[in-house]
Structure formats: structure tokens, C-alpha cells
Amino acid sequence: MSVPNSFTFAFVLTARSAALWRTQRLSLSRGPSLWAAGKRSSLQLVQLTEAELKEQFVRGDGPGGQATNKTSNCVVLKHVPSGIVVKCHQTRSVEKNRKIAREILQEKVDLFYKGEESDVYKEKKASEKKKQEKKRRAKENLERKKHFKEMLQLDRK
């Protein structure tokens, strides 16, 4: 799998933006706790080899004081062939951050190489569609309630 020289892609994902990305439907990242049991294995993601990865441990930042600011438990993981960079500082454990960073990177690389054919992309689109449908039904329900209240008001007069 080679990447054209004219198309480089770099993306830095911090712990704070990871939480934000998870809540948005365009999200490509997610914590392991958000998956139902066995669902992860059903995805056909691009496999990463350790030779393709460059890993660094840097000091974290953000809230938490000395416990987060003086320890080097923030993981910066780069996929060298594609240039995608993921920065993960979601927990205080280096091992958990390494695992989460690899999962996020694997999904991003899969999306990078497969594009709209990626299982990650299809899943996000399906959940986005489901959310829009739920929003539409809630709006219709609210309109029905509003109309019902107006009818009651007219009947009382």
C-alpha cells in the first residue's frame, strides 16, 4: 500500500478532542468502552505492523495538576507511510493510552486507505442517519403535542 507523494495526511488527535470527536457523528475515534462485545472483531480494518509505527511518550497537559503534567504518559503514535499522527492522553496509564492510540490510529489508517468503502465510515454514516431520524421523530412529536394543546385551548373557549 503506497501513498502518493502529493497526498500527505497528518492528523493530531489530543485527548480533549478525542472526547469531542466521540460525541460528534463525524467521529473517527472512540474509546474501547463504547463498543458492544464482539463488534470490534466484525470490522475489517487495515492491519498495522510495528515497523510502520513510530511511538513517542511525551508529557501530558490539561487538568489534573502534577499527576498529569509531570508524567510522560501521553502517547504520540505516527503511521509513517501515511503520515497520520494520533496523540492520546485519555488515561493516566501508559499501557491503556498505547492501546487506545493504536485503535484510533488503525481506524484512521483504514479510513485513509479505503475512504467511503471503510467499515468505520459506513458505521459512522449509519449512526449519523439514525441520529437524524431520531431527531426528526422528536420534532414531529413536539409538533403533535403543540397542536394538541392548541386544540384543547380552542375547546375550552
pLDDT tens digits, 9-20 = 333 344 444 444
Same domain for 51 and 105: yes
Give yes or no for residue 53 having a pLDDT over 70: yes
Counting the structural domains of the chain, the total is 2
Q: Which three cell numbers mark 117?
A: 468503502
Say how far apart CA 57 and CA 75 lie, in whole Å.
Answer: 5
Instruction: Give yes or no: residues 80 and 134 share one domain.
Output: no
Residue 23 lies in a domain: no
Residue 116 confidence (pLDDT) above 90: no
Query: What is the sign, positive or negative, of the torsion defined by CA atoms of 108, 38, 31, 52?
Result: negative
DSSP state of 77: E
What integer pLDDT is reported at residue 48 of this predicted model?
A: 84
Tell whether 104 and 129 lie within a shared domain: no
pLDDT band at 79; cut points 50, 70, 90 = very high
Residue 60 to residue 64: CA distance in whole angstroms: 10
Task: Give the pLDDT confidence score for residue 118 in this predicted structure.
Answer: 85
- The answer on 85 and 130 residing in a single domain is no
Do 61 and 104 fall into the same domain?
yes
Asked if residue 8 is part of any domain, the answer here is no
Residue 93 sits in a domain whose CATH number is: 3.30.160.20
Same domain, 52 and 92: yes
- Cβ atoms within 10 Å of 122's Cβ, excluding its own: 13
Answer whether residue 59 is part of any domain: yes
Residues 123 and 110 in one domain: no
Q: What one-character DSSP code corresponds to residue 94?
A: H
Residue 70, domain extent: 47-115
| Residues 85-104: tens digit of each pLDDT | 999 999 888 999 999 999 99
Q: Give the span between the Cα atoms of 98 and 65, in whole angstroms.
A: 22
Q: Cα separation of 63 and 14, whole Å?
A: 13
| Residue 31 located in a structural domain | no
Q: Within this chain, do residues 96 and 122 fall inside the same structural domain, yes or no? A: no
Q: How many helices (H) and strands (E) does the chain have?
A: 5, 3
